[in-house]
Amino acid sequence: MKDRQQYLNVKSSYVKIIFIAMVVFILISMGLTIALYRFYGNYIDGKFYFTNRIIFGVNTGILGALLIALVVLLPIVSLASKKMASPLVEMKRVAIAMSEGDFSIRAKGNYSGEMGQLAVTLNQLAAELSDTISSLTIEGNLLKQILNSMGDGLLGFDLNQQGNLRNRTFEKMFNIENSIEELQNEVRDVIYKVSLSAIENNKTEIATCLFQEKTILITGSPICSEDNSIVGTVLLFHDVTEAIRLEQTRRDYVANVSHELRSPLTSVKGLIIPLKEGMVKDEEKKNHFYEIIYNEVERLNLLVNDLFELSRLQTRNNPFEMQTVDVLNILYDQQDKFEMLSKEKSIRTLVKNSESPIYAKGNIDRIDQVLTILIDNALKFAEKNSTITICAKKELSKVIISVHNTGSFIKKEELALVFDRFYKVDKAHKDEGAGLGLSIAKEVITRMNGNIYARSDGVNETTFIFELESEG
């Protein structure tokens, strides 16, 4: 029934006009017949009895014929309307589906004449549009994946400086979710300035901005259409914080190495010249000069060895030979090794005993090397009559080893810097090493899959702690 109503309600159908005309003609005929008979019925009956009967019979025949024609023609008209409207309704359905983005629906191609050609053309159009949109969707998804996989942030603008494109890296870099209006005013101003400069000068513009302690390099380039007119800009954002830090570290490293090498060489040169020119006659003074020269050369040798060791640890990727290590035995060996030096400095070195053995996964020689560096460092800075406590304990899957000393402290802001190369907490002490020992310790512990850090109360106590994987 629903389909029937659809076909009968075609507004532009000539069938509908003919059908309405027929119904109107029948109704008018019936109305005229009834009206004439009402007014002239009696007169006609009297004067024109036979004529009236004839006319009445003719009218009745005509009316009956029309009624019969109406009954007969109604299904014929309905079928004709359905047949004529069917292709149009079918193609209307396809067109509506296409307008809604569904290109899978096709019209029947078995219609004759122009309707059939129109249906075939419409089906071809739907197929081509489906292929084109599918290709564009694939390319769009591929482009989106490429943009989101970029290591640099990307942001696109049109000529009105409205953002029309950005990737996930940009959002993560600046911690935004919806719009660049969420950015700080300073950062947003730099971005707009680079974009506008690229449009005005028609060339790539470069600038930097600071965002949450990060240095971001911004590169903006104009986007041109086929006729070489500018239609917008694209900006790339590269985090150069680490590169700047590494460059500064390299400069500091070269400067520190130069300084540490120059100091002993200058001392040696200053003592050799008077000895060479015979200015020192006293044998005792000569021996004193030779002793100083020997100490400076030894200091220089230690510096070179530390530099070589640190470089070797940082450039080699070969893992250490790992085994199960009895940590307490190493601690007691360290106590014996530094016993004489501790007594000379009036410092007590104490190993905190444990009720049960403690085993760690590591390299025994490297653990011994790290403890030597930490205990030697504690002896340099601990005051007389203080105590150095060496302790090991097991917590869950880790073994925690610590070297604690009293008589010295490290400022809170310096705790994270003590493991940097050449960094010295007390820069007034010129004879306390080159500042490479803790850097070497950090590299060694890292290579053993461990972690090392420092704590201090900021008053009188300092503790260096490193963690290794527990064994057993």
Q: Judge if 268 and 196 occupy the same domain.
A: no
Domain endpoint, select from 283, 315, 347: 315
Tens digits of per-residue pLDDT, 79-118?
A: 766 666 677 777 777 788 777 777 777 777 666 667 777 7
Q: Judge if 256 and 379 occupy the same domain.
A: no
Q: Judge if 159 and 201 occupy the same domain.
A: yes
Whether 421 contacts 436, CB under 8 Å? yes
Mind giving me the DSSP string for 270-333?
HHHHHHHTT----HHHHHHHHHHHHHHHHHHHHHHHHHHHHHHHHH--PPP--EEEEHHHHHHH
Q: Judge if 333 and 364 occupy the same domain.
A: yes
Tens digits of per-residue pLDDT, 47-83?
A: 555 666 666 667 777 777 777 777 777 777 677 666 6
Q: Can you give the pTM of this predicted structure?
A: 0.48
Which residues of the chain fall short of a pLDDT of 70?
1-16, 18-19, 33, 36-37, 39-57, 77, 80-85, 109-113, 253, 256, 259-260, 263, 306, 310, 313-319, 421-435, 472
End-to-end CA distance of the chain: 83
Q: Judge if 171 and 80 occupy the same domain.
A: no
- What is the domain-level CATH number for residue 200? 3.30.450.20
Q: Judge if 31 and 90 occupy the same domain.
A: yes
Q: Containing domain of residue 192, as a range?
A: 152-239
Strand 387-395 vs strand 348-351: parallel, antiparallel, or unpaired? parallel
For the chain, what is the domain count? 4
Q: Judge if 234 and 252 occupy the same domain.
A: no
Rounded-to-integer distance, Cα 267 and Cα 129, Å: 85
Q: Judge if 186 and 298 occupy the same domain.
A: no
